Amino acid sequence: MLSVRELYKRYGDVVALDGAAFVVSPGRILGFLGPNGAGKTTTMRVVFGLVDPDAGDVTWAGHAITDADRLRFGYMPEERGLYPKMAVREQVVHFGRLSGMCAQDAVAATDRWLAVLGIDDRAESKVEDLSHGNQQRVQLAAALVHDPVLLVLDEPFAGLDPLGVDTLSTTLQDLADKGTAIVFSSHQLDLVEDVSQDVAIIDRGRVVLSGVLDDLKAASTTRRLDVVVNGDRWVPDSGGRVVTDDRGRRHTLVESDAPVGDILAAAGSAGHVDSFSFEPPSLSDLFREAVGI
């Protein structure tokens, strides 16, 4: 289990981390969310010892992370980076070997991952000759080649086509099923909702909400009210907050103890009720609530 414990980091006057804390468990996928500049990348860099926190620490299996631990972690930084003039296969093998694999294992694992990620036909191409999406796949292969026990991915879905998104989601789920602890950051909330079981939401360097996604939804004091009357979205006159989601659809957030019967009756008197739902909030609702937007 990876424990991020009360991290603080300042760069001059800029507060990057202000007590960030969360845990990532083996076999589970944690979606790490937050607005730009909230501290996601800094937190990930602390895990890999690339940034020294001013206070707080990160532990793995209960002890401070050692260099040997880090070699069993996989990392895909937000700033993607590969050697452009090196062939795909040679490059992934190189990273595998740097993580401590013997040449034979590194080659076998590289070939396996290139096949899984669907780029085995480009194995001998130079990275610079690949499309952006395929470079992203190589990047992922470099993070996965040594079968890490912990996978830290900074915006792994950015730049992937829908097929790539599917491949990556499936791959992550397979890895989690085999016991890998996974944390990834993303701006695509619906995607996080599909892929991850756990979430941590960071805002201004502080984790404002974290836990099992379903529990968080259930524990939320708001409910999502989605009513269609005469073919149009219907919003009750009193109470609630109207929000527009990522897909441009409007719905209403109301208190969990709102009088559902009265609302349904009001909707009925407004016209023909096509659909009516009163559900726990979506991840994007939780996110808005947590970061106060």
Partner 1 sequence: MNRLTQTMLLAKREFVTRAKSKVFLVSLGVIALVIIAIGPVVSLFANDPEPIRIGIVGTEPAGIEEGLAARAALSEQEVEITRFDSLAAAEADLEEGAVEALLVDGTSIVFNEEESLVVVQVITDSVNSRARIALMENLGLTPAEMQQLNEPEQVVVRTLVVADPEARPRRVAAFAGVLVLFVTIITFGQFVAMGTVEEKQNRVVEILLSRVKASQILVGKVIGIGALGLVQLLVMAAAALVAFNIIDIEGISLGSIGAEIVAGVFFWFLLGYTLYAFLYAALGATVSRQEDLQGVMVLPAIFFLPAFFIAQLAVANPDLPIVRFGSFFPPWTPMIMPIRTALGSAQPWEVALSIALVVAGVVLLVWVGSRVFTGALLRTGGTVKLRDAWRSTGA
Q: State the minimum distance, in angstroms, from the CB of residue 83 to partner 1.
A: 6
Strands 55-60 and 29-33, bridge-based pairing: unpaired
Q: Please tell me whether residue 149 binds partner 1 under the rule CB under 8 A.
A: no
| Beta-bridge partner residues of 59 | 3, 64
How many CA atoms within 13 Å lie on the side-chain side of 256? 8
Instruction: Kindly state whether residue 84 participates in binding partner 1, applying the rule CB under 8 A.
Output: yes
Stretch that binds partner 1, among 65-73, 167-175, 240-248, 255-263 (CB under 8 A): 65-73
Residue 151: closest CA among 140, 163, 137: 140
SS3 for 44-68 is HHHHCCCCCCCEEEEEECCEECCHH
Q: How far is the CB of 121 from partner 1 (least distance, A)?
A: 22
Q: Which is nearer to partner 1, 48 or 278 (CB)?
A: 48
Q: Which of 22, 32, 60, 95 contacts partner 1 by CB under 8 A?
A: 95
Please state, in angstroms and rounded to a whole number, the distance separating the CA atoms of residues 131 and 117.
14
Q: Angle at Cα 22 formed by Cα 20 and Cα 25, nearest 5°?
A: 155
Q: What is the DSSP string of 132-146?
A: HHHHHHHHHHHHHTT
137 class by beta-carbon count within 10 Å (0-12 exposed, 13-18 middle, 19+ buried): buried
Is 37 one of the binding residues for partner 1 (CB under 8 A)?
no
Please report whether residue 94 would count as binding partner 1 according to CB under 8 A: yes
Of these, 61, 98, 115, 242, which contacts partner 1 (CB under 8 A)? 98
Please tell me whether residue 82 binds partner 1 under the rule CB under 8 A: yes
Which of 1, 37, 50, 277 lies at the binding interface for partner 1 (CB under 8 A)? 50
- Interface with partner 1, residue 257, by CB under 8 A: no
- Binding-site string for partner 1 from residue 178 to residue 197, where x marks contact by CB under 8 A and - marks none: --------------------
By three-state DSSP, how is residue 250 classified? strand
Range in contact with partner 1 (rule: CB under 8 A) among 77-85, 218-226, 235-243, 259-267 = 77-85
Q: Length of the chain, please? A: 293
Residue among 66 and 131 whose Cβ is closer to partner 1: 66
Under the rule (CB under 8 A), what is the footprint of partner 1? 45, 48-52, 67-68, 70-71, 73, 75-77, 79-86, 94-95, 97-100, 142-143
